[in-house]
Amino acid sequence: MSAITLATLNRLKTERKRFSMLTAYDASFAATAARAGVASVLVGDSLGMVVQGGSSTVSVTLEDMAYHTACVARGVAGAGKAAPLIVADLPLGTYYTAEDAGRNAACLMRAGANAVKLEGGAFLAETVRFLTERGVPVCAHLGLTPQTADMLGGYKVQGRDEAAARQIQDDAVLLEAAGARLMVLECVPDAVGAAVAAALSIPVIGIGAGPGTDAQVLVMHDMLGVSPGRKARFVKDYMAQAGSVEAAFRAFAEEVETGVYPAPEHCYG
3-state secondary structure of 235: coil
3-state secondary structure of 3: coil
Instruction: Cite the active site residues.
Output: 186
Best CA proximity match to 141, nearest among 108, 182, 94: 182
Assign 174 a pLDDT band (cuts: 50, 70, 90). very high
| DSSP class per residue in 114-169 | SEEEEE-SGGGHHHHHHHHHTT--EEEEEES-GGGGGGGTSS-----SHHHHHHHH
pLDDT at 151 over 80: no
Complete domains list, the chain, with CATH: 6-266 (3.20.20.60)
Which residues sit opposite 253 in a β-bridge? none
CA 49 remoteness from chain centre? 16
pTM (two decimals):
0.96
Lowest mean pLDDT among 64-73, 93-102, 201-210, 228-237: 228-237
Lowest mean pLDDT among 63-67, 80-84, 217-221, 256-260: 80-84
CA distance 189 to 127: 28
pLDDT, tens only, 18-75 = 999 999 999 999 999 999 999 999 999 999 999 999 989 999 999 999 999 999 999 9
Assign 1 a pLDDT band (cuts: 50, 70, 90). low
Instruction: Check residue 82 and give its pLDDT.
Output: 86
